[in-house]
A and B are shown apart, each in its own frame.
Chain A
Amino acid sequence: MLHLAVLAPILFAVLVPFLYSKVRSIHTGWFVLIVPVSLFSYFLSYLPKIKEGTIVQTVNWIPSLNINYDLYLDGLSFLFSMLITGIGSLVVLYSIYYLHKSEKLGHFYVYLLIFMTAMLGVVLSDNLFVLYTFWELTSLSSFLLIGFWNHRERSRYGAQKSMLITVFGGLAMLGGFVLLSVTAGTSSIRGVIDNADLVLNSPLFTGILILILLGAFTKSAQFPFHIWLPDAMEAPTPVSAYLHSATMVKAGIYLVARLSLLFAGTDLFFILVSGFGLLTLCWGSYMAVRQTDLKGILAYSTISQLGMIMSMLGIGTEVAVFAAIFHIFNHATFKGSLFMVAGIVDHETGTRDIRRLGGLMTLMPITATLALFGTFSMAGMPLPILNGFLSKEMFFESTLNLGHEGSSLVATVAPFYPIIAIFGSIFTFVYSVLLFFKTFTGKGDLSKLEKKPHEPPFGMHLSPVILVALIVIIGLFPNLINGPIITPAVEAVYGSAPDKHIYFWHGFNSVPLLMSLIVVALGLVLYITREKWLSFYNVMPGRFSANKTYDYIVENVFTMSKKATSFYMTGSLRLYMSLILLFLVIVTGSIFIITDGFSISTDNLAPINWTEILIGLIMVGAAFATVLSNNRITSILVLGVVGFGLSLLFVIYRAPDLALTQLIVETVTVALFLLCFYHLPELKKREESVGNNLLNWIISISVGTIITLTAIASHSTKLFETISDYFVETSVPLGGGHNIVNVILVDMRGLDTMLEITVLGLAALAIFTMIKLRKDGEAD
């Protein structure tokens, strides 16, 4: 049943184009809305079972490779399934009001439904390779959704960028998965965790961890792979709200959390995940302050929040994991609502630039209220009615408690973590405040806006209202979701979850609260004085940025490959010929040297005869004469000398049929050459540079040498007797002929002859065609 639930959206997607083209009067979104809503209620029905234990269902897919479509529903998968289907429903509802019927809704909802299946597959899969399949499907559908308005250049750029970066990470992750499944001997995630000893003690451990983390970091926009996320803001706002804040960017978080049981506790995992997480937290929040676009701020804020969750997973203590899971949930609520608010502002004013916005509070009071809750929850404002505050407190607590447990490495870095956390949070506070006050307060010059702002239709408000209601409800009564949803998820990630965290509640005298107050105080100071220090951005990042590095790499991949190709693909046939021949010489020559293959033996040689040597000398001389001659008649005649010399040799070596054929063919060939001369220009004197000529000579002499050496060596090491005795014996009794060569040609090996006749026939046809057929209008 779970299998069907995962595939339901993609199956429904088949119907969407029909609904879109046949039922034009109703917005297609209404039909699509059925899917996530019913999936949400379906998953909700698992709520009582999750506390009791996990649910495993399997369907064979490729059993011979141990790749089966195994699904696994535990607390963590359940939390994510609820987010995907729940926020999915809200986003579809929002998109109904956001996207006009004139948009290509058929495309939009098909992509969105594919994405939903992919995401459900990622969080429910138990098999590593099935997980990877769905993982790439999320990259693909995200690519399609970012490029939804594909007539815009920025959309295409953003889509390509996110595709390249996430697929790069996805492929690295696949490598990690292959190593992991080979090391652990199973491709099931539960199986891998059971065999943790094998993996942790394997020499491949470092490689496995880094490759898998590459996948997780690129998907979850961790530094320095965060650059695709701001550019993905070219997508329609419902997509940004759904994919790029609540669900897809958490796939990397999910993966790290899922494999926590395997990796957590190792120093490498701790330092990489928490280190990059904190770096991302600080860099994202720092960069967010600089943005002027509402969605740009939200994008960098998402990056920073994801960094915070990641760092908590890296810290991996009980409190930290609890805080991480709690924040995953909270972030989805407030970031989803903020994106929707940004979309409403965009929709109602025609701009998202905070420099042009301002004073919207009186015109859009409901939107402003929603934004107030969202931003303050994001800032971690110390008000116990906001869920963001609760998880931020736990984050501070987990950085504070770090020193008490863990290895020497953990103990060394522990004192710095709270400071870094405060630093990142201050900027989080600044951009959150900026986001709200710049948009909704002050005096905006409304005359410059394209539209006169007013409240949007009720339906557009519905989704963010629900999300904001969640913010407040969870802020007031966190235990409502702690027991049924968060605790099972923590159990799945950490292995156990004692009750004390669930009812954990800070007193007023706690250090984390103090830290929050410091953040608020310093944040306010920074916000008020921001005009004075904004120029610091010219120093850091200054001229350097990951975006420029990315552009540099992408451009250079094109130019470098073009250079590399045009280096040898010059279009010159002579160069290709030289390369082919050089390769032949080098390969054969080095095989000779490596295997010590050359040998020369004087046994079984025919006696030396001066007539034959003379003929040989004449042939060689004539061959060189063709090379040196600049007169075409001379060239062709001396070429004839070579041919006739060869037929003489055939006579001497007792091959009458060969001599006959060679004589006739040579005559005809010479005649043909002479015929062609009539049409071809004079042979020109060779205008060749000395260097080129020398190179040509070197190549041709080495080819000749290699041929001679191969011939001598193979003649000297004959391993078996010839099979010709059979032909000699059976020529008369079986073939009925005395001329053995002819019997072989037409009797023993008649197929050769038949195909050789075909070759001649084809050559004749081709010659006829070449002479007769002309393009239309081409002169004869």
Chain B
Amino acid sequence: MEIIMSIVAGLLFTTGVYMLLQKQILRIIIGTSLISHGAHLLILTMGRLKTGAPPIIVEGVTQYTDPLPQALILTSIVISFGVTSYLLVLAYRTYKTNHTDNMDELRGTEHE
């Protein structure tokens, strides 16, 4: 199962990277979202899938799934959420100021 999930994560990265290389800001933000989904799935997969009960201590259960990757992913989800919302507002401001959302036109002046 881990191998299949690795492939799924790889495919998410593929689409994410493809979106990153596009011209429109919105597509780029979608790309970053896809990549963070891929990364979260990858962290979970690397911690081994389904080796026990959910990591909540219950009397009598000795085998739990690895809680550490879950804590890491939780932190990461929140951070990527913060970044995504920031990027969205940045895209909005960029468009308002420059009247374009095309990355090829957003190049700055010669000597910047």
A261 within 8 A of B: no
Q: Decide yes or no: A620 and B8 within 8 Å by CB, A574-B104, A715-B46, A756-B79 being known contacts.
A: yes
Q: How distant is the Cα of A642 from the Cα of B45 in the complex, in angstroms?
A: 17
Contact A661 B85 (CB under 8 A): no
Q: Which of B12, B79, B106 contacts A642 (CB 8 A)?
A: B12
Instruction: Determine if A206 is an interface residue (Cβ-Cβ < 8 Å).
Output: no
Q: Are B77 and A578 in contact (CB under 8 A)?
A: no
Q: Given the complex of chains A and B, what is the CA–CA distance between A714 and B91 in angstroms? A: 37
Contact B70 A655 (CB under 8 A): yes
Q: How many residues does chain B have at the interface if contact means C-beta atoms less than 8 Å apart?
A: 84
Chain B, Cβ-Cβ closest to A675: B88
A609 to chain B, nearest CB (A): 7
Segment from A155-163, A291-299, A480-488, A664-672 that makes contact with B: A664-672
Q: How far is the CA of A672 from the CA of B6 in the complex (A)?
A: 29
Q: Are B86 and A581 in contact (CB under 8 A)?
A: no
The answer to whether B81 touches A739 (Cβ under 8 A) is no
Q: Are B34 and A741 in contact (CB under 8 A)?
A: no
Nearest A residue to B14, CB-CB: A704
DSSP class of B's interface residues: helix, strand, loop or mixed? helix
- Smallest distance from the beta carbon of A659 to chain B beta carbons, Å? 10
Q: Which of B52, B89, B95, B104 has the most CB of A within 10 A?
A: B89
User: How near does chain B come to A646, taking the closest CB pair, in angstroms?
Assistant: 5
Over the window 1-30 of chain B, the binary record of Cβ atoms lying under 8 Å from chain A Cβ atoms (1 yes, 0 no) is 111111111111111111111111111011
List the A residue with the shortest CB-CB distance to B42: A711
A510: CB under 8 A from chain B?
A: no
The number of A-B residue pairs with CB atoms under 8 Å apart is 266
Q: How far is the CA of A696 from the CA of B22 in the complex (A)?
A: 8
Give CA–CA (A723, B66) in the complex, Å: 9
Residue of B nearest to A673 (CB): B88
Enumerate chain B residues within 8 angstroms of A756, measured Cβ to Cβ. Answer: 75, 78-79
Task: Report whether A700 and B46 are in contact in the complex, using a CB–CB cutoff of 8 Å.
Answer: no
Q: Please name the residue on chain B nearest to A585 by beta carbon.
A: B17
A557 within 8 A of B: no
Known A-B contacts A639-B33, A642-B37; the reply to A705 vs B2 at CB < 8 A is no
A669 touches B11 (CB 8 A): no
Is B57 within 8 A of A703, CB to CB?
no
Chain B residues within 8 Å of A739, by CB: 55-57
Q: Is A732 an interface residue (CB 8 A)?
A: yes
Which one, A606, A672, A699, A759, contacts B1 given CB within 8 A? A606
Instruction: Tell me how many residues of A have a C-beta within 8 Å of chain B.
Output: 96
Produce 1/0 per residue, A715-754, CB < 8 A to B.
Answer: 1000000111001100110000011110011000100110
Q: Which of A619-646 contact B (CB under 8 A)?
A: 619-620, 623-624, 626-627, 632, 635-636, 639, 642-643, 646
Q: Decide: A646 and B50 in contact? CB cutoff 8 A.
A: no
Binds B, one of A116-124, A187-195, A314-322, A677-685: A677-685
Distance between Cα atoms of A683 and B24 in the complex (Å): 8
* Interface SS majority for chain A: helix
Contact B4 A577 (CB under 8 A): no
Interchain CB contact (< 8 A) of A658 among B24, B33, B58, B70: B70
Q: Complex Cα distance A318/B29, Å?
A: 81
| Other-chain contact of B77, A571, A604, A661, A703 (Cβ < 8 Å) | A661
B2 with A632: CB separation less than 8 A? no
The answer to whether B81 touches A738 (Cβ under 8 A) is no
Residue-wise, chain B 39-67 has the 8 Å CB interface mask toward A (1 for contact) of 01110111111111111111000001111
Chain A residues lying within 8 Å of B18, measured Cβ to Cβ, are 627, 696-697, 699-700
Alpha-carbon gap, A744 to B83, bound state (A)? 23
A727–B95 touching, CB < 8 Å = no
| B8 contact from A616, A658, A683, Cβ within 8 A | A616
Tell me how far the C-beta of A702 lies from the nearest C-beta in chain B, rounded to whole angstroms: 9
Contacts of B79 in A (CB 8 A): 756, 759-760
How far is the CB of B51 from the nearest CB of chain A, in Å?
Answer: 7
Q: Assess whether A770 is interfacial by the CB under 8 Å rule.
A: yes
Interface presence of A100 (CB below 8 A): no
A684 to B77, CA, bound (A): 30
Residue picked from A657, A668, A707, A760, most chain B C-beta under 10 Å: A707
A730 to chain B minimum Cβ distance, whole angstroms, is 11
Name the distance in Å between B108's Cβ and chain A's nearest Cβ: 6
Report if A606-B2 is in contact (Cβ < 8 Å); known contacts: A655-B65, A714-B46, A763-B83.
yes
| A101 CB, min distance to chain B CBs, angstroms | 43
Q: A600 interface residue, CB < 8 Å from B?
A: yes
CB-CB nearest 5 A-B residue pairs: A708-B10, A704-B14, A763-B82, A571-B107, A700-B17
